[in-house]
Amino acid sequence: METMLQVRNLKKYFPIKGSFFSSNPSYVHALEDVDMDLYRGETLGVVGESGSGKSTLGRIIIRLEQPTAGKVFFEGRDVSTLKGKSLKNFRTDIQMVFQDPYASLNPRLTVGSAIAEPMIAHKRFSSKAEIKEATEDLLRKVGLQPSMSSLYPHNFSGGQRQRIGIARALSLNPKILICDEAVSALDVSVQSQILNLFNALKRELGLTYIFIAHDLAVVRYISDRILVLYLGTVMEIAPKTELFDRHYHPYTESLISASPEPSTVKRKGRIILSGEIPSPINPPKGCKFHTRCFKCMERCKTEEPALKEIETGHFVRCHLYDDKGRG
Amino acid sequence: MKVADEPLLAFKEYSMGFKDEGVVYNLLDNVSFSVHRGAVLGVVGESGCGKSMTALSVMRLLPPEAVVQSGEIVFDGANLQKKSEAEMEKIRGREIGMVFQEPMTSLNPVFTIGRQIGESLAIHFPNMSKDEIHNEVCQLLEHVGISNAAKRFYQYPHQLSGGMRQRVMIAMAVACKPKLLIADEPTTALDVTIQAQVLELIKKLVNENGSSMMLITHNLGVVAETCDEAIVMYAGQIVEKGSVDHIFNHHSHPYTAGLMASIPSLSHGDGDLYSIPGTVPTIDKFGNGCRFAARCTHKKPRCEGSSPPLMEVDPGHFVACWNF
């Protein structure tokens, strides 16, 4: 497997404006020492509750935010050092699909010009006819009529708008698509259409996805590997089947247990976590999850566990597995 | 004398629509269902299917463009349509409580949560003293799982997290121990771990007070785990109703089947997901027949001409489809 993207020791702290006199400013600890690899042609699912840093991770990878510390390597090159032309090229290689199809399209631009805009900005084509042809081709690719390019966003339903967002993201032939809650706002019957579209595009264009979502069932359906984030820390990374069949981290276990299943078969021993995700301004000491963990031990409160590879490709950050696997 | 098995709430051939430039477009078409005493009824469907309008019809809080066309809504033996506005005010909050989806927009940002929860008590029980209300509110807060109630009483909505705000909304809705609780997408804005907590809490409260609940949601998983019975709505019509077992294990309507097949579940395989062709029609294009006909894979010539009534295919299991 070829590694396409590497994230190493990524940290992101957002400063909070304190009072004028406060000497030490406080920070939102959005990401803490995140390490991950993305392989060519895979779909990596990123799950976690709100405030877990999922979106920040996506935004740093695409260089919409600068990390506080740590590096992102894309095809072996440090992304933060890119400038000028190489930065412009990098921008075309990774594109993003956003959550809210209502808010991410300009209501005053026709759909055709919204899709054409990145191609014009990057001077992909010299003539208007070529751009028009490419736009219509993209619309066809995402399952819309080429004739729709002269319509405005308000003419479209939520699912169709999401298709337009995808067409726009595809306009520069990216290698990686980051989907940030791209199906969360859609109804189930529309959601299934868009998920199928993502899979079809992956096969057709050889895309690699980072799929950020809070819905475990969706992530399970679309991903090859899954990364579980909690308070900006990677708790578990594993291939999908491995994660669902033999999750090791208590947090992963409780997430899976809490997801409502559309079935009348009663599940045994449902775990309902008490409390809520702590504030990322003052994250707990020791293991970040210890305040809500149902298997919490004394040492979890003081000592943060390391991310360890328990089985090949299956990493867990939990003291329960200290004497298992490699550090 | 009230018969014990008389339902608490019954929609009887209720139709309503919206007026636009003199033309009335029908939305809810001949809707009939009941919420039984002590039971939890799930109302499922996608956006625009009329779930929320069903809830607002009960509360008589429909938007001004709405027109009730026919039928009645019977609550505890009385037709709600015939009540005066003053009588409705005694029912809202006292007899029927409602939890809304968006806790941030439905809480008033300039009042403390204690005052907002206490408001319905003060209105419906004018004999309660200020101290009594304060104590009752603190108990309610503890009851919905908000610790340190004495301090929280004086906090404002912005000082609470999303899950906490939803707990406050629930405390408001159950403050007067209503007979019926209507919850409109109560957990949609919440994380799964919090969603599980809130659903547990609602179930517990409904059980303790011996009340009934109408749970409106688009999440079939939530219905399966919370409800006793369910109705499935499509474009303002009930396409299927029955026990949760009927709906999930023996669903017969093509729309219910399509919806079930569209959800990726935790136990789902890898193949393509099923997707229902086409999109939900807009209100001006509903037509006279079955509103699902245009997207249906089992369509017959008859389907576009007239809409099928709900037919009982099994005891307690109703389906509106000409294929039966």
Helix (H) or strand (E) holding A81: none
Q: What is the domain extent for residue B313?
A: 228-324
Question: What confidence score (pLDDT) does residue A13 get?
Answer: 94
Residue B41 belongs to some domain of the structure:
no
Choose, out of A222, A263, A271, the residue to mutate when testing the contact with B (most B CBs < 10 Å): A263
User: Rounded to a whole number, what is the distance in Å from the CA of A200 to chain B's nearest CA?
Assistant: 9
- Domain count along chain B: 1
Helix (H) or strand (E) holding A317: strand A314-317
Q: Taking the CA atoms of chain A, what radius of gyration do you get in angstroms?
A: 21
Q: In this structure, are residues A51 and A71 in contact, taking their beta carbons and an 8 Å threshold? A: no
B22 pLDDT band (50/70/90 cuts)?
confident
Return the residue of B nearest to A195 by Cα: B273
Cβ distance A216 to B222 less than 8 Å, yes or no, reads no
Closest by Cα among B303, B300, B302 to B291: B303
Choose, out of B104, B188, B225, the residue to mutate when testing the contact with A (most A CBs < 10 Å): B225
Residue B241 belongs to some domain of the structure:
yes
Give dist(CA B222, CA B190) in Å, integer.
Answer: 13
Contacts by residues A54-58 (CB-CB < 8 Å, ≥ 24 positions apart): A54/A180, A54/A212, A54/A214, A54/A229, A55/A180, A55/A181, A55/A212, A56/A12, A56/A30, A56/A31, A56/A232, A57/A7, A57/A10, A57/A31, A57/A212, A57/A229, A58/A96, A58/A178, A58/A180, A58/A210, A58/A212
Give dist(CA A1, CA B175) in Å, integer.
Answer: 59
Tell me how long chain B is. 324
User: Hey, how many other C-beta atoms are within 10 angstroms of the C-beta on B302?
Assistant: 13
Beta bridge pairs of residue B283 = none
Three-state SS at A311: strand
Chain A positions touching B224 (Cβ under 8 A) are 260-264
Cβ distance A216 to B225 less than 8 Å, yes or no, reads no
Q: In this structure, are residues A277 and A50 in contact, taking their beta carbons and an 8 Å threshold? A: yes
CA angle A110, A186, B164 (to 5 degrees): 120
Q: In this structure, are residues B139 and B121 in contact, taking their beta carbons and an 8 Å threshold? A: no
Cβ distance B192 to A217 less than 8 Å, yes or no, reads no
Question: What confidence score (pLDDT) does residue A136 get?
Answer: 94
Cβ distance B221 to A258 less than 8 Å, yes or no, reads no
Residue B215 belongs to some domain of the structure:
no
Residue B43 belongs to some domain of the structure:
no
Say yes or no to pLDDT of B5 above 80: no
Residue A188 has its nearest CB partner, among B194, B244, B259, at B259
Give the tens place of pLDDT for each residue, B265-277.
766 566 788 888 8
Q: Quick one: A34 exposed, middle or buried, by C-beta within 10 A (0-12, 13-18, 19+)?
A: buried
Give dist(CA B288, CA B300) in Å, integer.
Answer: 14
The pTM for the full model equals 0.88
Q: What CATH number was assigned to the domain covering residues A3-16+26-260+270-321?
A: 3.40.50.300
Q: Sheet harboring A3-16: ordered strands across?
A: A26-39, A3-16, A69-74, A77-78
Return the residue of A nearest to B244 by Cα: A264
Cβ distance A218 to B224 less than 8 Å, yes or no, reads no
Domain boundaries, chain A: 3-16+26-260+270-321
Residue A262 has its nearest CB partner, among B162, B220, B272, at B220
Give dist(CA A114, CA A120) in Å, integer.
Answer: 10
Cβ distance A188 to B223 less than 8 Å, yes or no, reads no
Sign of CA dihedral B73, B75, B78, B82: negative
Backbone angles phi, psi at A211, to 5 degrees: -110, 105
Helix (H) or strand (E) holding B303: helix B301-305
Three-state SS at B284: helix
DSSP state of A326: B
Share of chain B above pLDDT 70, in %: 97
- Average model confidence (pLDDT) across chain B: 90
Give dist(CA A12, CA A37) in Å, integer.
Answer: 18
Residue B84 belongs to some domain of the structure:
no
Chain A positions touching B194 (Cβ under 8 A) are 49, 276
User: Rounded to a whole number, what is the distance in Å from the CA of B123 to chain A's nearest CA?
Assistant: 32
User: Rounded to a whole number, what is the distance in Å from the CA of B262 to chain A's nearest CA?
Assistant: 5
User: Rounded to a whole number, what is the distance in Å from the CA of B314 to chain A's nearest CA?
Assistant: 18
Question: What confidence score (pLDDT) does residue A274 get?
Answer: 83
Question: What confidence score (pLDDT) does residue B1 get?
Answer: 41
Cβ distance A276 to B161 less than 8 Å, yes or no, reads yes
**Portion 17-56 of A in contact with B at CB < 8 A:** 49-50
| Chunked mean pLDDT (size 10), chain A, 327 residues | 93 81 79 94 93 91 93 93 90 90 88 94 90 94 92 89 94 95 87 93 95 92 95 95 91 92 78 84 92 93 93 94 69
Q: How far is CA B127 from CA A266, B95, B132, B133, B151, in A?
A: 46, 18, 10, 10, 25
Cβ distance B218 to A159 less than 8 Å, yes or no, reads no
Question: What confidence score (pLDDT) does residue A264 get?
Answer: 81
Chain A positions touching B260 (Cβ under 8 A) are 262
Give dist(CA A35, CA A283) in Å, integer.
Answer: 19
Residue B152 belongs to some domain of the structure:
no
User: Rounded to a whole number, what is the distance in Å from the CA of A312 to chain B's nearest CA?
Assistant: 22
Residue A234's contacts (CB-CB under 8 Å, 6 or more residues apart) are A34, A35, A36, A227, A228, A307, A315, A317
Q: In this structure, are residues B219 and B264 in contact, taking their beta carbons and an 8 Å threshold? A: no
Choose, out of B262, B282, B285, the residue to mutate when testing the contact with A (most A CBs < 10 Å): B262
Chain A positions touching B268 (Cβ under 8 A) are 217, 220-221
B238 pLDDT band (50/70/90 cuts)?
very high
Residue B307 belongs to some domain of the structure:
yes
Helix (H) or strand (E) holding B206: helix B192-209
Residue B187 belongs to some domain of the structure:
no
State the DSSP string of A206-273.
--EEEEE-S-HHHHHHH-SEEEEEETTEEEEEEEHHHHHHS--SHHHHHHHHHSPPSSSSPPSS----
Give the tens place of pLDDT for each residue, B96-135.
999 987 777 889 999 999 999 999 999 999 999 999 999 9
Q: Is A306 at the interface with chain B, CB within 8 A?
A: no
Cβ distance A193 to B274 less than 8 Å, yes or no, reads no
Return the residue of A nearest to B221 by Cα: A262
Give dist(CA B97, CA B171) in Å, integer.
Answer: 10
Chain B positions touching A257 (Cβ under 8 A) are 196
C-alpha torsion A195→A199→A200→A202, nearest 10: 140
Say yes or no to pLDDT of B216 above 90: yes
Q: Is A218 at the interface with chain B, CB within 8 A?
A: yes
Cβ distance A188 to B275 less than 8 Å, yes or no, reads no
